[in-house]
Amino acid sequence: MSSYTRVALVTGANKGIGFAIARDLCREFPGDVVLTARDEARGRAAVQQLQAEGLSPRFHQLDIDDLQSIRAARDFLRKEYGGLNVLVNNAGIAFQTDDPTPFDIQAEVTLKTNFFATRNVCNELLPIVKPHGRVVNVSSSQGSQALENCSEDLQEKFRCETLTEEDLVDLMKKFVEDTKNEVHEREGWPSSAYGVSKLGVTVLSRILARRLEEKRKADRILLNACCPGWVKTDLGGAHASRTVEEGAETPVYLALLPPDATEPHGQLVCDKVVQNW
Ligand SMILES: NC(=O)c1ccc[n+]([C@@H]2O[C@H](COP(=O)([O-])OP(=O)(O)OC[C@H]3O[C@@H](n4cnc5c(N)ncnc54)[C@H](OP(=O)(O)O)[C@@H]3O)[C@@H](O)[C@H]2O)c1
C-alpha cells in the first residue's frame, strides 16, 4: 500500500460551483483537498473562507490556460502525493448573451479555455491519476443541445465510437476557423460557442474514458462528464434555479464514487443520472 495521503484537486475553485465542490470534498473526501485558482489572491481568500468554516484545504495556483502552470501543479502533486486520486475539471468561462465581442472571438476564447485548456489538464494529469482514481469534467447540457443543433453529418461524427482525440481537436479547430470565415452555420455548426466548447468536453470525456479502458483497465479509474444544472453563479446568472451547493452535488457524487464502483464511466451525468448520448 502507498504511504501517501490521498489527494483531490479542483480547478477554478475560488468561487461558484468549484468552490462548493472544494467545500464538499473537504468535508467528505478522506484525504487532502487542493483548491486551485488562476489568481493567487482570489484562491487564498477562498481557502481562508473555508478555513473560517473549520475546513482545511490546501492551495495551489493553477491557470489552465497556461501549460507551465498545469505542469507546476502536476510536479507538486507528484512530489507531495506521488500522484492524484481525484481530479475535478471545473474551470470554465462563458460570455454573457449581451456581450458585444464578435462571435469569432467569443468562439476562439471560449474554446481555448473550456475545451483546449481542459484537454491540456487531462493530458498532463491523467498519467499521474492513481488506480481507482476519479476524474470529473464539468461540462453542460448545453453541449448536448449544441449536438442536437449540429448538422446530421457533424452529429454522426461526434457520436462515432471510433472518433479519436485528434479528430475531435480538428473538429474544434474547424469550428473556430469557420466562425472566422463566417461560414460556421453553412458548415453545420450551431451558433453557441459555449455549447460547442462543452460538446467538445463531453466527447473528449468519452474518448479519454475509452482510452483508459483500453490502456489501464486494471486501474479501474472512472472518468465522466457532468452537468451541474443551471446554477446561480457569475457564469449562470442571478436567475438560475440552483444554488452552488445543489450544483456541486453531481460532480461530488462522481468524484466520490466508491472504490468498487465500475460505472458510470465515459458518460454525461446530470442529477446523478446517465444521459443518452
Ligand atoms: N452556472 C451554471 O449554470 C453552469 C451550468 C452548466 C455548466 N457550468 C460549468 O460549471 C463550471 C463552473 O462554472 P460556475 O458557474 O461556477 O462559474 P464561475 O462562478 O464564473 O466560476 C468559474 C471558475 O473558473 C475559473 N476559471 C476560468 N478560467 C480559468 C482558467 N483559465 N484557469 C483556472 N481557472 C479558471 C474562474 O476563475 P476566476 O475567478 O479567476 O475568473 C472561476 O473560479 C464551468 O465549467 C461552467 O461552464 C455552469
Tell me what the mean pLDDT of segment 26-48 comes to: 98
Residue with cell 491540456: 120
Cell numbers given for 227? 452537468
Q: What is the mean pLDDT of the chain?
A: 98
What separation in Å is there between the alpha carbon of 2 and the centre of ligand 1?
33
What separation in Å is there between the alpha carbon of 235 and the centre of ligand 1?
7
Which pLDDT score, from 0 to 100, does residue 1 have?
52
Tell me the pLDDT tens digit for each residue of 174-194.
999 999 999 999 999 999 999
43 CB within 6 A, ligand 1: no
Catalytic residue list contains 4: no
List the residue whose alpha carbon is closest to atom 20 of ligand 1: 235
Each residue of 49-87: b (16+ CB within 10 Å) or e? bbeeeebebebbbbbbeeeebbeebbebbeeebebbbbb
Whole-angstrom Cα distance, residue 277 to residue 27? 33
246 CB within 6 A, ligand 1: no
Closest to 234 (Cα-Cα) out of 69, 56, 78, 15: 15
138 CB within 6 A, ligand 1: yes
Residue 228: which residues within 8 A CB-CB, separation 6 or more? Answer: 17, 138, 140, 242, 247, 248, 249, 250, 251
Tell me the pLDDT tens digit for each residue of 126-167.
999 999 999 999 999 999 999 999 999 999 999 999 999 999
What separation in Å is there between the alpha carbon of 90 and the centre of ligand 1?
6
Tell me what the mean pLDDT of segment 239-248 comes to: 98
Q: How confident is the model at residue 3 (pLDDT cuts 50, 70, 90)?
A: confident
List the residue whose alpha carbon is closest to atom 46 of ligand 1: 92
Closest to 170 (Cα-Cα) out of 120, 224, 116: 116
Tell me what the mean pLDDT of segment 47-74 comes to: 98
Q: Which atom of ligand 1 is closest in space to residue 63's alpha carbon?
A: 32
Cell numbers given for 192? 453557441
Tell me the pLDDT tens digit for each residue of 213-240.
999 999 999 999 999 999 999 999 999 9
Tell me the pTM. Answer: 0.98
Which pLDDT score, from 0 to 100, does residue 14 have?
99
